[in-house]
């Protein structure tokens, strides 16, 4: 075998190794075949136990609405140069039964309701006391966790009650090259019970998945791929890659120098 053939063979081997890895790294590899399903996926946030709710009641008659709002708290933020006071709305804690203690109305059960449904429910009760009440309700402790083979794992607070699994992975700095994209675990609480499901980031089916939009307290776990698991015994996670490349180079050199 002449030198040119050996070089071509070595380059071809490296190319094949590169192509194989792309299948495990690239997102949405079949995106050209993606079709939106008939049932449009919606982002539905349902109230759960231990949620913190911000609820404000307003009306054209401010005096009649005032008793239904919690007092505003003043908090102090101090630094070396100044002390500043900021106002902060109090929140309602949803207890284990799914209820909150609301001014005048007493115990109100909101478990399983969407924020929109809860607002309508409160409006109907408030109509006995207020003309044309307006209720602004949202979950203030909406958060998701991203763990595993991502660059910046952590807990992320969401202010607008809407985040996709793609956005969550982006906030965590994206998956590392060692992340197992075809088998990402999503842990979710449904009706007080922990459930789990696995999603495939290499497939466009993820876009139609009920796990595309995350719920409050969801946990996204990216498992390490086989190469990373095998490399766990080495000091450097890239050692197997370096060893493979070095092996190819040594083989080529030994053939050329014969």
Same domain for 101 and 69? yes
Same domain for 239 and 160? yes
Same domain for 132 and 35? no
State the CATH number of the domain containing residue 85: 3.30.1950.10
Q: How confident is the model at residue 25 (pLDDT cuts 50, 70, 90)?
A: confident
Rounded CA gap, 8 and 3, in Å?
9
Q: What is the mean pLDDT of residues 157-186?
A: 94
Q: Note the residue count of the chain.
A: 258
Q: What is the mean pLDDT of residues 120-131?
A: 96
Q: What is the mean pLDDT of residues 140-150?
A: 95
Beta pairing, strands 154-157 & 106-109: unpaired
Q: Compute the radius of gyration of the chain from its Cα atoms.
A: 27
pLDDT > 70? residue 8: no
* Residue where one domain finishes, among candidates 99, 118, 139: 139
80, HSE (Cβ side, Cα atoms, 13 Å): 0
Same domain for 254 and 168? yes
pLDDT > 60? residue 63: yes
In the predicted model, what is the mean pLDDT of the chain? 83
CB atoms within 10 A of CB 109: 15
Same domain for 246 and 152? yes
Averaging pLDDT over each range in 29-43, 106-120, 214-228, which range is the top one? 106-120
What's the number of domains the chain is made of?
Answer: 2
pLDDT > 90? residue 196: yes
pLDDT at residue 193 in the model = 87
Smallest Cα–Cα separation from 146: which of 205, 187, 177?
Answer: 187
Same domain for 245 and 204? yes
State the CATH number of the domain containing residue 184: 3.10.560.10
SS3 (DSSP) at 185: strand
Rounded CA gap, 131 and 258, in Å?
96
Same domain for 221 and 162? yes
Q: Write the CB contacts of 247 (distance below 8 Å, at least 6 apart in sequence).
A: none
Q: Helices 239-256 and 3-25: crossing angle, nearest 10°? A: 160
Rounded CA gap, 100 and 47, in Å?
11
Q: How confident is the model at residue 243 (pLDDT cuts 50, 70, 90)?
A: low
Same domain for 181 and 255? yes
* Residue where one domain finishes, among candidates 139, 170, 200: 139
pLDDT > 90? residue 155: yes
pLDDT > 60? residue 236: no
Same domain for 148 and 227? yes
Same domain for 175 and 226? yes
CB–CB of 187/221 below 8 Å? yes
Which has the higher per-residue pLDDT, 38 or 90? 90
Q: Specify the DSSP class assigned to residue 232.
A: G
* Residue where one domain finishes, among candidates 139, 165, 186: 139
pLDDT > 60? residue 5: no
Q: Specify the DSSP class assigned to residue 90.
A: -
Same domain for 189 and 251? yes
pLDDT > 60? residue 242: no
Domain that holds residue 78: 52-139
Q: What is the mean pLDDT of residues 38-61?
A: 85
């Amino acid at each position: 075998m002449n030198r040119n053939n050996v070089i071509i063979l070595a380059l071809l081997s490296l190319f094949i190794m590169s192509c194989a890895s792309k299948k495990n790294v690239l997102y949405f590899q079949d995106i050209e075949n993606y079709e939106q399903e008939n049932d449009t996926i919606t982002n539905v946030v349902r109230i759960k136990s231990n949620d913190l709710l911000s609820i404000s009641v307003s009306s054209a008659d401010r005096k009649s609405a005032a008793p239904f709002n919690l007092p505003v708290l003043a908090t102090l933020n101090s630094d070396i140069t100044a002390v500043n006071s900021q106002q902060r709305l109090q929140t309602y804690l949803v207890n284990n039964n799914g209820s909150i203690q609301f001014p005048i109305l007493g115990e109100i059960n909101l478990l399983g309701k969407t924020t929109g449904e809860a607002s309508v429910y409160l409006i109907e009760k408030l109509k006995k006391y207020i003309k044309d009440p307006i209720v602004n309700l949202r979950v203030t402790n909406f958060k998701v966790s991203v763990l595993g083979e991502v660059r910046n794992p952590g807990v992320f607070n969401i202010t607008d009650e809407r985040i996709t699994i793609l956005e969550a992975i982006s906030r965590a700095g994206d998956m590392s090259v060692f992340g197992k994209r075809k088998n990402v675990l999503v842990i979710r609480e449904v009706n007080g019970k922990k459930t789990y499901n696995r999603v495939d980031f290499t497939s466009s089916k993820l876009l139609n998945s009920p796990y595309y939009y995350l719920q409050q307290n969801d946990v996204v776990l990216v498992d390490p791929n086989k190469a990373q698991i095998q490399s766990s015994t080495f000091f450097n996670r890239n050692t197997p890659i370096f060893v493979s490349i070095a092996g190819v180079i040594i083989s080529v050199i030994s053939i050329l120098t014969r």
